[in-house]
Structure 1
Amino acid sequence: MYSLLLAIIYIAFISLGLPDSLVGAGWPVMHQDLGVPVAYAGIVTMIIASGTIVSSLASERVTRRLGTGVVTAVSVGLTAAALVGFSVSGSFWVLCLWAVPYGLGAGAVDAALNNYVALHYAARHMNWLHSFWGLGASISPFIMSYALTSGQGWSSAYRIVGLTQVVLTFVLIVSLPVWGKAARSAPPGHDVAGGDEQATGLEPSGRGSTHVPLAEALRIPGVVLVLVAFFAYCALESTAILWAATYLVTDRGVDPATAAAFASLFLIGITGGRFLAGFFADRVGDRHLIRGGFVTVGLGVVMLALPLETDAPALVGLVAVGLGCAPIYPAIIHSTPVNFGRRSSQAIIGIQMAAAYTGSTLAPPAFGLVSTGVGMWTFPLFLAVLAALGLLMSERLNRLVGRRAQVDEVAPPS
């Protein structure tokens, strides 16, 4: 059961990544067919992000009431319906309507699945699962390219991905009885939350367990620290994805084709880095992965900013930033039950997802304003500030958790 459900979750993560690149890949054609300015892509993505944030915050209550399996199946079903809706949308306002269930489905399943994996599977699986998400996100532009070059139009790409999600929804519904059995049949040593220390003995977050209100979760010592760290990381990643190629072309004078290739290598670095991190994540531990990731990002940013005549260090630096980013997201999620207890993990991961989407939504346009007013040369500085903020917050959290563990060790038994 344990291995069967793990295979289903791997497939689910690929499917989760599939829709994430479709809007960007197809928008150059979509906005023309819909008769709207190119800038209207921001409206669609903001609606999706808003729904994702709302459902992430509500995921703890919903998951405790229905269970992870049901939430995953329903959320993927919502996403599937939205994608099929995108494929038949003939006007921009209809597209915006379908963006609502798209965002609601994406946020709930992201929080629920990440918490389930953090509770029941080893750190290597968290890294590999997010690598599989990157695989899905990398595939969808090729689906869009095929749909456009074959003359079928952008709607065909949404239909293909939407129907794929429909099939996954059916698989998830059939697999619902497996979820609880798999958690109980996990091999010894797998029901842990990281390589640093064992999770607490509290009951896992799941169906029927006690609800943890949002206000209570935010009052837990260290939660604000991890939220800021997660916000900073996701802001860094999304800013690099959007602006890296523009920085290389406008500030470093790199050929646009070369810049585009290395911008894509940033994403490949994240995907490949997570795959590689999975082989040693259990031995190294989440804390060291987070620390090493932010330090590697910092080194890459320095290389990116070096005022040298050759562009080679800057290009290598961008790839290094991607490799550094790779383990941070999975490790922050996977360490949540260790840092805050299993009972509170679903609520806190839901808030973390909201912080992540907020950072991803706000940071790229914020840097756009900074670069317009000050200059594109601030790109490495912007990334450096975010990396330093993320590292500082994560290190403060480590010290707080360490002190709490020492107090628990010396406390007399009740």
Structure 2
Amino acid sequence: MYLLLLTIIYMAFISLGLPDSLLGSAWPVMYEELNVSMSYAGIITMIISGGTIVTSLLSGRLTRKLGTGLVTALSVMLTAVALFGFSVSNSFILLCLWAIPYGIGAGAVDAALNNYVALHYSSRHMSWLHCFWGVGVTISPFIMSYSLKGGYGWNRGYGFVFIIQIILTVILFISLPLWKDKKTLANSQKDQEKVLSLPQILKIPGVKIVLITFLAYCGLEATTGLWASSYLVEFRGIDAETAARFSSLFYMGITLGRFLSGFIADRFGDKILIRYGIIIIIFGVVFLGLPTENTMVSLIGLIIIGFGCAPVYPSIIHSTPANFGSNNSQSIIGVEMASAYIGTTFMPPLFGLIADKINIGLYPIYLIIFAILILIMSEILNKIVSNQKN
């Protein structure tokens, strides 16, 4: 039962990743067909992230009432419905409307699953599970590239991913009895016993710092993923179909990095993985921004950035019970997810405005600012936690 449930959780993480990279890989084609500005991608991501913020903040109460399994199944179903909506939409307004269930579904499942894994599984499994999220986000751009090159259009690309997502939804509903295993349920109820209000959470030492860290990290990751294709097309002169395929290299770097870091996570610990991951991100951004005619250098830079991102997110989440207490973890992880999605909401569209009004070539500079901020905040958090324990 343990292994079967773990397999289901791995599949759930794939479903988390599937929708995340579709908009960025398709947008160079979408905005021209929809006759809107290139920066309008930020509006859609803001609506999606707004929904995730709300449900992330409510995740502690939702999970306590419904259980992790049902929250996961319902949330994946909502994202599947949203993907179907995208596949049949032909206007920007309709995309904005379908972005609402998209965001609501994503927020609840993210917080619930991450807390469940942080409590019940080792750092190794957290890395590998997020590797499977990377599998989802890596597959999607290839599906979209296939759809664009085959002449099916971006709508059909969303439709293909919808089919995969609805199959995963059915599997999750069938698996619900596994989540109700008595031992697992007892542990889960015990760990989720304490539901804190937002003011109570913010008073805990170090929480504000970790929220800034999450905001900065997700701002960096979301901006990299959303604007990679557009940067390659508009600044590096690569055609849209090729750029859609190459943008997946960033997510491929995340996926490979999380697979490899799973082998060393338990040995080195969360703090070391976070520190060196950020340093690798900075190195990758430098590669991405090198003023050279050789586009291969930029592509290598995207892979390096993804590789550096790999351990950061899962390690910060996995360290939450250790940093702040397992009884507080569901509430704190919910707020961490909300802060992360604030970064996802506002940072990519902010860069969209910079790209529109100034130059999309500022993309690497924008990314490196966030990378340095993450490094500073994570080191401050380490000192606060160390002082609390001493």
> CA, structure 1 residues 185+241, in 2 after alignment: closer, same or farther (shift >3 Å)?
closer
Does the aligned pair in 1 maintain the 2:47–2:99 contact within 8 Å? yes
Q: What is the distance in 1 between the residues matched to 2:298 and 2:145?
A: 29
Q: Superposition pairs for residues 104-143 of structure 1, below 5 Å?
A: 104-143=104-143
Does the aligned pair in 1 maintain the 2:23–2:226 contact within 8 Å? no
Partner of residue 334 from structure 2, selected from 324, 335, 350: 350
Which residue pairs with 1:275 in the alignment? Answer: 259
Does the aligned pair in 2 maintain the 1:2–1:185 contact within 8 Å? no
- The reply on whether 1:170 has 2:170 as its aligned counterpart is yes
CA deviation map 1:47-86 (0-9, x unaligned): 2121111111111111112111111111112112222233
CA deviation map 1:11-70 (0-9, x unaligned): 11112211223333444555566x542544433322212111111111111111211111
- The reply on whether 1:397 has 2:381 as its aligned counterpart is yes
Which residue pairs with 1:195 in the alignment? Answer: none
> CA, structure 1 residues 87+121, in 2 after alignment: closer, same or farther (shift >3 Å)?
same
- The reply on whether 1:321 has 2:294 as its aligned counterpart is no
Report the more deviating stretch, 12-21 or 284-293: 12-21
Q: Superposition pairs for residues 220-231 of structure 1, below 5 Å?
A: 220-231=204-215
Q: Superposition pairs for residues 170-249 of structure 1, below 5 Å?
A: 170-181=170-181, 184=184, 203-205=190-192, 209-243=193-227
> CA, structure 1 residues 97+370, in 2 after alignment: closer, same or farther (shift >3 Å)?
closer
Does the aligned pair in 2 maintain the 1:236–1:383 contact within 8 Å? yes
**TM-score (norm: length of structure 2):** 0.86
Q: CA deviation at 1:157?
A: 3.5
Pairs aligned (count):
386
Does the aligned pair in 1 maintain the 2:278–2:309 contact within 8 Å? yes
- The reply on whether 1:78 has 2:78 as its aligned counterpart is yes
CA deviation map 1:262-297 (0-9, x unaligned): 654333212211111111111111111001111222
Does the aligned pair in 1 maintain the 2:18–2:137 contact within 8 Å? yes
Q: What is the distance in 1 between the residues matched to 2:2 and 2:90?
A: 44
Does the aligned pair in 2 maintain the 1:131–1:272 contact within 8 Å? yes
Q: What is the distance in 2 between the residues matched to 1:123 and 1:230?
A: 18
Does the aligned pair in 1 maintain the 2:21–2:225 contact within 8 Å? no
Instruction: Identify unmatched segments of 5+ residues in structure 2.
Output: none
Q: Indicate the SS of the match to 1:393.
A: helix
CA deviation map 1:109-135 (0-9, x unaligned): 111111111111111111111111121
Q: What is the distance in 1 between the residues matched to 2:95 and 2:290?
A: 44
What is the letter of the counterpart of residue 37 of structure 1? V
What is the letter of the counterpart of residue 61 of structure 2? R
Does the aligned pair in 2 maintain the 1:274–1:327 contact within 8 Å? yes
Q: Indicate the SS of the match to 2:205.
A: coil
Residue identity over aligned pairs, in percent, reads 56
For CA contacts below 8 A with separation 6 or more, give which structure has more relative contact order. 2
Which residue pairs with 1:37 in the alignment? Answer: 36
Aligned-residue RMSD, C-alpha: 3.3
Q: CA deviation at 1:214?
A: 1.8
**Higher Rg of the two aligned structures:** 1
Does the aligned pair in 2 maintain the 1:64–1:210 contact within 8 Å? no
> CA, structure 1 residues 174+244, in 2 after alignment: closer, same or farther (shift >3 Å)?
closer
Q: CA deviation at 1:92?
A: 4.1
- The reply on whether 1:256 has 2:238 as its aligned counterpart is yes
Report the more deviating stretch, 275-284 or 388-397: 388-397
Report the more deviating stretch, 35-44 or 131-140: 35-44
Q: What is the distance in 1 between the residues matched to 2:146 and 2:288?
A: 34
Which residue pairs with 2:366 in the alignment? Answer: 382
Q: What is the distance in 1 between the residues matched to 2:127 and 2:148?
A: 33
What is the letter of the counterpart of residue 171 of structure 2? V
Instruction: Identify unmatched segments of 5+ residues in structure 1.
Output: 192-201, 407-414
**TM-score (norm: length of structure 1):** 0.81
> CA, structure 1 residues 320+215, in 2 after alignment: closer, same or farther (shift >3 Å)?
same
